[in-house]
């Protein structure tokens, strides 16, 4: 009986000449496949197989292209079972292909095409997407443009090109007295402060004054202003001082003329280069109804009540600027504007209802309408005045209605003043029909 040493050793199934397979599962001469096929890992050569070029790194498209360029082929991992990349339908890895095709795939991969992540039928390469579809479709306006437009609208600024707005200060660039560097800021300040120095509605607090009496006083002031040959700004400041004082203090009718000449004396001292030299000049035009001390006392009372504040933006301040902006402007245009503005100065409702800048802008608009200037309102005027045609139309209609009734009105100081040839006789021109709302 044979001993245990004579028993032949059991060989593993399917092969001979190898060692017995151990319980720990180590394969004879092979690396154990822990996770199955992963597609691009090159394993060692099988026992007895022909030696292959040793590759110590995974085969990528780039390295495969380099191998092919050197006359080599990428190593197949398994000749009997094709490897399928996860998510890619039946694509063999390592099959020899032309270098140009692999290079093309590599270029596509760098451009952003990713293979092996989703099925090929669902993948759209960048080359297949039209250029216009690749761009992000944006709405016509961005948030920044919308906020900018709203900010400009809130500030009253225009979005129109600057080239449409005439530089009215270009001719005065060398005139140091014109203050070209500061004129825009000055008028912005005037518009901000014009409401602080406007007279309030004082007719209810003045028992002996009505609209008609005030119109008579202003008509008389215009005559006195013309007789003394004073500057235009003196007239507007005189009326402003008178109205502001009446807003603060009730005045009996017998002292109204005294208030007028005292206001003109103050305005002359403030505005004129050569003011009337003696108070007696003002006493003369009143037929000596008052004495010198009364005028000086009233002057002191007025200045105290107004707290000596005389630097105020009157309609004249805006008139000279807006007439300059009404390019092209001529003498006829200038006189027509002042004619309509002084008609408005006599009307109590106009002075109380509208601020000085609007009265001045409306006078320019009404004058352009009367003289048939086209267009009636330009971008330059809109820029410098800050008003549109719709904002000025109502006030302009009032001024034109005063023009309709100027010839029949008993108070003719303004009408006579602007009927003279040296004023281009603008008062004799027919009023503008398209803004007329009826005489008042």
CATH assignment of the domain containing 254:
1.10.472.10
Contact (Cβ atoms closer than 8 angstroms) between residue 92 and residue 59: no
Q: For residue 238, tell me if it sits in a domain.
A: yes
Q: Rounded to an integer, what distance in angstroms lies between the CA atom of residue 149 and that of residue 147?
A: 5
Domain end (from 255, 272, 305): 305
Q: For residue 109, tell me if it sits in a domain.
A: yes
Indicate whether 202 and 105 sit together in one domain.
no
Q: For residue 275, tell me if it sits in a domain.
A: yes
pTM of whole model > 0.85?
Answer: no
Torsion of the alpha carbons at 96, 47, 12 and 33, rounded to the nearest 10: -50
pLDDT value of residue 196: 87
The residue range of the domain holding 73 is 61-131
Helix orientation angle between 232-248 and 256-271, rounded to the nearest 10 degrees: 130
Domain end (from 249, 278, 305): 305
Contact (Cβ atoms closer than 8 angstroms) between residue 246 and residue 207: no
Q: Per residue of the chain (440 residues), give pLDDT as tens.
A: 444 444 444 444 444 444 444 444 444 445 555 555 555 555 555 555 555 555 455 666 777 677 676 665 444 444 445 444 444 444 444 444 445 555 555 555 544 444 444 444 444 444 555 554 544 444 556 777 777 777 777 766 555 555 478 888 888 888 888 888 889 999 999 999 998 888 999 998 998 899 999 999 999 999 999 998 899 999 999 999 999 999 999 999 999 999 999 999 999 999 988 766 678 888 888 888 888 899 999 999 999 999 999 999 999 999 999 999 998 878 999 999 999 999 999 999 999 999 999 999 999 999 999 999 988 899 999 999 999 999 999 999 999 999 999 989 999 999 999 999 999 999 999 998 876 444 33
Interacting residues of 52 by C-beta distance below 8 A, sequence separation 6+ = 45, 75
Instruction: For 73-161, list the strands marked E by DSSP.
Output: none
Q: Structure tokens of 143?
A: 């948030």
Contact (Cβ atoms closer than 8 angstroms) between residue 319 and residue 279: no
Indicate whether 119 and 203 sit together in one domain.
no
Q: For residue 72, tell me if it sits in a domain.
A: yes
Nearest to 254 by CA among 294, 204, 195: 294
pLDDT value of residue 299: 94
Q: For residue 36, tell me if it sits in a domain.
A: no
Q: How many domains does the chain have?
A: 2
Q: Structure tokens of 73?
A: 């082929």
pLDDT value of residue 222: 95
- Cα–Cα distances (Å) from 373 to 257, 292, 331, in that order, read 40, 50, 14
Interacting residues of 27 by C-beta distance below 8 A, sequence separation 6+ = 21
Q: Structure tokens of 168?
A: 């009215």
Contact (Cβ atoms closer than 8 angstroms) between residue 87 and residue 116: yes
Interacting residues of 104 by C-beta distance below 8 A, sequence separation 6+ = none
pLDDT value of residue 401: 94
Indicate whether 123 and 206 sit together in one domain.
no
Q: For residue 315, tell me if it sits in a domain.
A: no
Q: For residue 179, tell me if it sits in a domain.
A: no
Indicate whether 202 and 301 sit together in one domain.
yes
Indicate whether 297 and 208 sit together in one domain.
yes
- Cα–Cα distances (Å) from 394 to 244, 263, 316, 359, in that order, read 25, 31, 20, 11
Domain end (from 102, 131, 160): 131
Q: Which residue has the tokens 């245990």?
A: 4
Q: Structure tokens of 41?
A: 């890992």
Q: For residue 192, tell me if it sits in a domain.
A: no
The one-character DSSP state at 355 is -
User: Taking the CB of residue 147, how many other CB atoms lie within 10 A of it?
Assistant: 10
């Amino acid at each position: 009986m044979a001993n245990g040493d004579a028993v032949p050793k059991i060989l593993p199934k399917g092969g001979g000449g190898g060692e017995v397979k151990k319980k720990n599962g180590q394969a004879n001469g092979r690396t154990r496949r822990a996770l199955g096929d992963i597609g691009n890992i090159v394993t060692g050569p099988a026992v007895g197989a022909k030696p292959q070029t040793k590759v110590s790194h995974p085969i990528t498209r780039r390295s495969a292209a380099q191998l092919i360029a050197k006359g080599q082929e990428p190593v197949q991992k398994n000749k009997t079972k094709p490897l399928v990349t996860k998510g890619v339908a039946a694509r063999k890895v390592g099959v020899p292909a032309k270098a140009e095709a692999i290079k093309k795939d590599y270029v596509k991969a760098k451009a952003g095409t990713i293979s092996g992540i989703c099925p090929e039928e669902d993948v759209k390469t960048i080359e297949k997407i039209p250029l216009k579809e690749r761009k992000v479709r944006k709405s016509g306006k961005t948030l920044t443009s919308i906020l900018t437009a709203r900010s400009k609208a809130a500030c009253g600024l225009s979005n129109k090109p600057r080239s449409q707005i005439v530089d009215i200060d270009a001719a005065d660039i060398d005139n140091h007295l014109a203050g070209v560097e500061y004129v825009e800021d000055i008028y912005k300040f005037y518009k901000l402060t014009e409401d602080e120095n406007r007279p309030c509605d004082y007719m209810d607090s003045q028992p002996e004054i009505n609209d008609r009496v005030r119109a008579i006083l202003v008509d008389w002031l215009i005559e006195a202003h013309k007789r003394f040959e004073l500057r235009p700004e003196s007239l507007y400041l005189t009326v402003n001082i008178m109205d502001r004082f009446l807003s603060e203090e009730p005045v009996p009718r017998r002292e109204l003329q005294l208030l007028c000449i005292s206001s003109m004396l103050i305005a002359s001292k403030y505005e004129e280069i050569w003011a009337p030299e003696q108070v007696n000049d003002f006493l003369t035009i009143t037929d000596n109804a008052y004495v010198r001390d009364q005028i000086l006392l009233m002057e002191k009372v007025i200045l105290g009540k107004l707290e000596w504040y005389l630097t105020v933006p009157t309609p004249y301040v805006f008139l000279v600027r807006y007439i300059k902006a009404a390019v092209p402007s001529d003498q006829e245009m200038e006189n027509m504007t002042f004619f309509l503005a002084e008609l408005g100065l006599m009307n109590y409702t106009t002075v109380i209802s509208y601020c000085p800048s609007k009265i001045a802008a409306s006078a320019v608009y009404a004058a352009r309408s009367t003289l048939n200037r086209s267009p009636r309102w330009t971008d330059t005027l809109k820029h410098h005045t800050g008003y549109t045609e719709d904002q000025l139309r109502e006030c302009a209609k009032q001024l034109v209605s005063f023009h309709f009734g100027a010839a029949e009105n008993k108070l003719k100081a303004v009408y006579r003043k602007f009927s003279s040839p040296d004023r281009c006789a603008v008062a004799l021109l027919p009023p503008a029909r398209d803004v007329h709302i009826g005489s008042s």
